[in-house]
């Protein structure tokens, strides 16, 4: 059966482009339609088949109990005499084909997504159209900076005390909470975390993984997550997979293990990574609650995990996320996160450079025996362990590969130095510029401070 016949004479493409049809199906206003449809269809198109569920998609779309009210006027006009007004045969046949396809994909292609298949077709399109209005704009596929880095620690309370001594203003620690059983009270799970938020729309995350009973630090805020009961098993499966990775990272060493890039259009990034053959999770949308300390709200946060189960990323957790709208002031004069430093074995350097060129959609340049990826006002440095002593005197990588340091831009480096000395730290000079607190004094990661003019 042709696509047009299955959709009552309309092609799927024309159905998607018809705003009135979409509003009828998704039950939304014109103003809300774009974001709502993107959040609904994005995971279906970008997530691996093994993580997707047509039943979940239909539940979120509100289509399981579709009746006459969701049947468009065009469908009614084309319906055969005597046909039930509450039954759209064309739509039913379309869904039936999707069910068959889902079963096949889950059995044989569980690590691929629809966007992976698109990646095999899109290279046939002339390059002049690749970044045109037909697919995505050139601006939408740009990684424009660092979203955040994540510092994993065994004891979050000790970590908070450290960061406050370093002169950072930290948010109240929070932990997600869900009823693990029907009608049960909320239970904390996953990872508890706190942020040092910056005016340059990025942050440093301090986190610990809750294992077993999982002691929640005193004063931690429970953040209830509204998860439909039918979706809960899959939701917990995804969360547990992430926690398994974070646990493995923390078992390696206490320190920096998370690097998240910032992008305007995360869905365009999902398509681009598929074109590059990079495995990923698909786009997930979450709602981050307002920050009571600075009266700001991040709204909807879209995150894309760089995650290939058949070839895991060895250096930690990598992801791409939308621009956060957060800000805070800090006694040490911190303005923004501007650098993350990754050290690798000499023999592995070419492979890492190739991967990050694909992640960031740009080549590295060489500077003072290190490889630098420029991201607007921030950058990522990849170097071998042989030059670590030159850049960060007295430092060594606990294991390879490893994120060994991150850099914060400050207003006045001399004022920052005085604050650090007064709080008992022994800052050293880095050949990259500025000064740094050694990893031995900062729970496993060196923290650099640099005065850089915009």
User: How much is the pLDDT for 142?
Assistant: 82
Q: How many other C-beta atoms lie within 10 A of the C-beta of residue 135?
A: 16
Q: Is 405 exposed, middle or buried (0-12, 13-18, 19+ CB in 10 A)?
A: buried
283 shares a domain with 182: yes
351 shares a domain with 259: yes
In this model, does residue 422 exceed pLDDT 50? Answer: yes
Q: Where is average pLDDT lowest: 65-79, 90-104, 268-282? A: 65-79
Collapse the DSSP code of 116 into the 3-class scheme (helix H, G, I; strand E, B; otherwise coil) and give the result: helix
User: How much is the pLDDT for 252?
Assistant: 92
**For all residues of the chain together, what is the average pLDDT?**
75
Binned at pLDDT 50, 70 and 90, residue 94 comes out as: low
- Is 92 within the bounds of a domain? yes
- Is 130 within the bounds of a domain? no
Q: Is the peptide bond before 401 cis (omega within 30 degrees of 0)?
A: yes
CATH number, residue 332:
3.10.180.10
Across the range 223-243, mean pLDDT stands at 68
Binned at pLDDT 50, 70 and 90, residue 279 comes out as: confident
- Is 127 within the bounds of a domain? no
38 shares a domain with 150: no
Across the range 254-268, mean pLDDT stands at 92
Q: Considering only residues 41 and 3, tell me which one the structure prediction assigns the higher pLDDT.
A: 41
For 57, the enclosing helix (H) or strand (E) is helix 54-61
Q: Where is average pLDDT lowest: 166-180, 387-401, 412-426? A: 166-180
Q: Where is average pLDDT lowest: 143-152, 225-234, 329-338? A: 225-234
User: How much is the pLDDT for 436?
Assistant: 98
**Phi/psi-derived region of residue 381, left when phi > 0, alpha when psi is between -120 and 50, beta in every other case:** beta
101 shares a domain with 191: no
Binned at pLDDT 50, 70 and 90, residue 15 comes out as: very low
The Cα 309–Cα 140 span in angstroms is: 27
User: How much is the pLDDT for 13?
Assistant: 44
- Is 286 within the bounds of a domain? yes
| pTM of full prediction above 0.75 | no
Bridge partners (DSSP) of residue 303 are 284, 321
Across the range 293-319, mean pLDDT stands at 74
* Residue 46 contacts residue 39 (beta carbons within 8 Å): no
153 shares a domain with 91: no
- Is 339 within the bounds of a domain? yes
Bridge partners (DSSP) of residue 208 are 192
In this model, does residue 444 exceed pLDDT 90? Answer: yes
335 shares a domain with 221: yes
User: How much is the pLDDT for 388?
Assistant: 87
351 shares a domain with 304: yes
User: How much is the pLDDT for 291?
Assistant: 43
Per the structure, the complete domain to which residue 242 belongs is given by 141-450
In this model, does residue 233 exceed pLDDT 60? Answer: yes
User: How much is the pLDDT for 311?
Assistant: 78
Bridge partners (DSSP) of residue 320 are 261, 304
In this model, does residue 97 exceed pLDDT 50? Answer: yes
The Cα 254–Cα 416 span in angstroms is: 25
* Residue 165 contacts residue 423 (beta carbons within 8 Å): yes
User: How much is the pLDDT for 400?
Assistant: 93
88 shares a domain with 197: no
In this model, does residue 39 exceed pLDDT 70? Answer: no
390 shares a domain with 443: yes
Closest CA to 270 of 239, 303, 237: 303
Domain end (from 87, 110, 133): 110
Name 367's Cβ contacts closer than 8 Å, sequence gap at least 6: none
The Cα 130–Cα 126 span in angstroms is: 7
Q: Considering only residues 370 and 245, tell me which one the structure prediction assigns the higher pLDDT.
A: 370
193 shares a domain with 73: no
Closest CA to 143 of 279, 305, 273, 261: 261
- Is 116 within the bounds of a domain? no
- Is 441 within the bounds of a domain? yes
In this model, does residue 122 exceed pLDDT 80? Answer: no
238 shares a domain with 305: yes
Tally of domains within the chain:
2
237 shares a domain with 323: yes
Domain end (from 63, 87, 110): 110
For 124, the enclosing helix (H) or strand (E) is none
User: How much is the pLDDT for 10?
Assistant: 46
The Cα 416–Cα 425 span in angstroms is: 11
User: How much is the pLDDT for 302?
Assistant: 81
The Cα 235–Cα 154 span in angstroms is: 25
- Is 121 within the bounds of a domain? no
Pairing of strands 428-429, 435-437: antiparallel
User: How much is the pLDDT for 398?
Assistant: 87
Across the range 176-185, mean pLDDT stands at 67
Q: Where is average pLDDT lowest: 47-56, 64-73, 315-324? A: 64-73
User: How much is the pLDDT for 40?
Assistant: 59
């Amino acid at each position: 059966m042709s696509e047009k016949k299955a959709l009552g004479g309309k092609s799927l493409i024309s159905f998607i482009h018809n705003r009135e049809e979409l509003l009828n199906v998704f039950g939304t206003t014109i103003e809300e339609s774009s974001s709502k449809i993107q959040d609904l269809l994005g995971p279906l198109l970008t997530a691996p088949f093994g993580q997707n569920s047509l039943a979940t998609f239909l539940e979120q779309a509100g289509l399981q109990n579709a009746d006459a009210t969701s049947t468009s006027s065009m469908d009614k006009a084309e319906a055969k005499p005597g046909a039930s007004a509450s039954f759209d045969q064309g739509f039913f046949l379309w869904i039936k084909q999707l069910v068959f396809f889902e079963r096949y994909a889950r059995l044989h292609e569980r690590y691929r997504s629809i966007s992976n298949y698109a990646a095999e077709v899109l290279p046939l399109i002339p390059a002049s159209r690749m970044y045109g209005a037909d697919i995505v704009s050139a601006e939408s596929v740009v990684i424009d900076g660092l979203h955040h880095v994540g510092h994993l620690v065994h004891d979050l309370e000790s970590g908070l005390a450290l960061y406050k001594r370093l002169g950072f203003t930290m948010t109240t620690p929070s932990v997600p909470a869900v009823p693990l059983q029907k009608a049960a009270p909320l239970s904390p799970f996953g990872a508890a975390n706190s942020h040092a938020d910056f005016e340059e729309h990025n942050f440093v995350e301090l986190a610990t993984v809750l294992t077993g009973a999982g002691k929640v630090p005193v004063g931690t805020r429970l953040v209830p997550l509204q998860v439909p009961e039918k979706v809960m098993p899959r939701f917990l499966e995804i969360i547990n997979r992430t926690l398994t990775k974070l646990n493995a990272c923390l078992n390696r060493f206490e320190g920096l293990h998370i690097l998240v890039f910032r992008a305007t259009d995360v869905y365009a990034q999902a398509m681009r990574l598929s074109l590059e053959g990079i495995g990923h999770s698909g786009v997930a949308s979450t709602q981050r609650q307002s920050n009571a300390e600075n009266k700001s709200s991040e709204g909807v946060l879209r995150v894309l995990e760089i995650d290939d189960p058949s070839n895991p990323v060895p250096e930690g957790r990598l992801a791409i996320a939308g621009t956060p709208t957060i800000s805070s002031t800090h006694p040490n004069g911190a303005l923004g996160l501007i650098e993350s430093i990754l050290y690798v074995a000499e023999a592995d350097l070419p492979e890492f450079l190739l991967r990050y060129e694909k992640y960031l959609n740009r080549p590295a340049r060489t500077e003072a025996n290190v490889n630098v990826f420029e991201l607007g006002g921030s950058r990522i440095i990849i170097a071998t362990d042989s030059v670590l002593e030159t850049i960060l005197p007295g430092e060594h990588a606990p294991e390879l590969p490893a994120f060994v340091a991150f850099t914060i831009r400050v207003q006045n480096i001399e004022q920052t130095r005085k604050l650090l000395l007064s709080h008992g730290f022994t800052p050293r000079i880095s050949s990259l510029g500025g000064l740094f607190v050694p990893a031995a004094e900062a729970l496993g990661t060196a923290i650099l401070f640099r005065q850089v003019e915009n």
